[in-house]
Amino acid sequence: MSLFLVKKSGPLLGEVDISGAKNAVLPILCACLLTDEKCVINGVPPLSDVFILIEILKKAGANVSYDEILERIEIKASDVGGDVSNEHEAVKMRASFLVMGPLLARNGSAKLPLPGGCRIGNRPIDLHLKGFEILGAKIKQEHGTAEAKCPKLLGGYIYLDFPSVGATENIIMAASLSEGETVIENAAVEPEVIDLVNFLNQMGASVFCVGNGTIKVTGVKKLHGAVYTVIPDRIEAGTFMAAAAITGGDITLKNAVYEHIKPAAAKLAECGMAVEETENGIHVYPVGKRKAFNIKTMPFPGFPTDMQAIFMSVMTISKGTSIVTETVFENRFLQADELKRMGADIKTEGRVAVVEGVRKLTGAKVNAPDLRAGAALIVSALAAEGQTEIGEIQHIDRGYSHIDEKLRRLGAHIKRIEEEKEGKK
C-alpha cells in the first residue's frame, strides 16, 4: 500500500499552480461522445479518475489519446456503441454514469452498470433516470445495470427534487441532441456544470442558464468538435487554502478563480486568514490566530460539501467551538475518526459535527477513507507534532495530481512511499 509520510511543516510559503477541475473534466470528456468530430480538451490533470474514464470512453468506441505532460486529451467518437455494461471500471467510479446521457442521445440506447454507492452516501441515480424518461426514454434496471432506450429524444420539462450536479449534467447532454426545448428547474449551477454548458455551446449546442436554477436547452440535430480549456479546480484551491490556514502560511494560488471559492474565502476570513484576488490568482495569508467558525454545506453558491472535510481539519486547531452541518451527503464525516487519532476533539451526530479546537495535534498512523477525507488528513498532518503516516492514498490520487510535489514546493515535509510492486524482489 502506498503511503504519504508527513511531518509538521512551518508556514507554507510561495506559489502553487492550480490544475484543471476534476469535476469539470469528467462530464466534459463524456460530452465529447456527442459528436463524431475531434475534440481537444486542455487542462486535464493526470488523475486516476481521468484514466478510468478514458478506458470507459474507449469501450464506448471513442478514439482517445492523452498527453499527460501537456495535460491535453484528443477524443474522436466516430461511432459509439451504447453498451458499456460489462465495463467493471465503470462501477469503480460514479462519474462514469455521465456517459449515459451522451450515449442515449447519440446512439438511441445506453446500458451501464449501476454506479456503486460509496462511503459518503448511497448516491442514487433516480433523478438522472427521471430526466431521461421525461425526454422519452424507456428505462430498464436489472442485473445491476441500467438501460435507457429511445430512437429520438423529445424535449420536456424536468423539475429536479434536489439540484443534483450529475443529474443536471446528464440531462443537459441528452437534451442537447433532442428535438425541441427542454427546461430543467432546480438545476445545479456549480462552476463545473457551467463549464460543461460552455463546452457544449462551443460544440454548437444551445444551452442557457436563465437564472434561479433554471436551465433551458434547445436541441440541435448535430454537434461539431471543439477545442476547450477546463476551469481550474476550486476544490484543489480550497485544499491549499486550508493548508495555508493550518500552518499560518502565506501562499498564492495561481490561476484560481476567486468567484468560485468565495464561500471558502468567507470562512477563512472568519478564522483569521485574509484571501485576496490578485491579477494572476488568489493570495492567502494570516491576519491573526485561528479562530473557530461554522460551516453549513449547500449546493452552489453555498459552501461546497467537497471542502467540508478539509476545513474541518482547520477547525481542529482553531480556538473555540466550531460546528459543521453537512446537508448534501448522509455520511460525510469519515475523516472524524482519523482526525481523532491525531488528537482532534470532534463529536458527530448524524449530519452535525462539533469540533473543539485543541492546542496541538500529534502525528499518527491513519488511513484515507475517501478522496476529500484523505486530503483533510494531509492538511491536518502538516500541523501535527512529529510524523503522520497516511495509508490508502489511492483515494487521494483520484482527485489530486502531484499533491505531494506541489506541497513540497511550498515548504511542506511530505513524501510518497510507493508500495512494493508484486513480484519485485
Catalytic residues: 118
Q: What are phi and psi of 219, to 5 degrees?
A: -65, 150
Residue 11 DSSP symbol: -
Report the residue from 11, 46, 108, 124 that binds ligand EPZ according to the rule CB under 6 A: 124
**Which three cell numbers mark 25?**
473534466
Report the residue from 80, 328, 403, 410 that binds ligand EPZ according to the rule CB under 6 A: 328
Nearest approach in angstroms of CB 386 to ligand EPZ is 29
Report the residue from 306, 326, 397, 404 that binds ligand EPZ according to the rule CB under 6 A: 306
Report the residue from 26, 175, 253, 379 that binds ligand EPZ according to the rule CB under 6 A: 26
* Per-residue x/- track, 125-144, ligand EPZ (CB under 6 A): xxxx----------------
Please tell me the distance from the alpha carbon of residue 214 to that of residue 184, in angstroms, as a whole number.
6
Nearest approach in angstroms of CB 415 to ligand EPZ is 24
Closer residue to ligand EPZ, CB minimum distance, 5 or 298: 298
Residue 344 CB partners (closer than 8 Å, separation 6+): 316, 336, 355, 358, 361, 380
Verify binding: residue 23, ligand EPZ, rule CB under 6 A. Answer: yes
* Per-residue x/- track, 369-398, ligand EPZ (CB under 6 A): --xx--------------------------
Verify binding: residue 123, ligand EPZ, rule CB under 6 A. Answer: yes
What's the distance, CA 315 to chain centroid? 22
* Per-residue x/- track, 260-299, ligand EPZ (CB under 6 A): ----------------------------------------
Give bridge partners of residue 323 from the DSSP assignment.
Answer: 354
Verify binding: residue 186, ligand EPZ, rule CB under 6 A. Answer: no
Residues 329-348 that bind ligand EPZ (CB under 6 A): 329
Nearest approach in angstroms of CB 369 to ligand EPZ is 12
Please tell me the distance from the alpha carbon of residue 302 to that of residue 163, in angstroms, as a whole number.
12
Question: DSSP characters for 217-260?
Answer: EE--S-----EEEPPB-HHHHHHHHHHHHHHT-EEEEET--GGG
Find, among 18, 82, 42, 46, the residue nearest to 236 by Cα: 18
Strands (E) in 18-104, as ranges, are 38-42, 63-67, 72-76
Give bridge partners of residue 389 from the DSSP assignment.
Answer: 5, 365
Verify binding: residue 162, ligand EPZ, rule CB under 6 A. Answer: yes
Nearest approach in angstroms of CB 94 to ligand EPZ is 6
Is the preceding omega at residue 27 within 30 degrees of 0, hence cis? no
Residue type at 264? Answer: A
The site for ligand EPZ (CB under 6 A) is made up of: 22-23, 26, 94-95, 121, 123-128, 162, 164-167, 188, 192, 305-306, 328-329, 371-372, 399
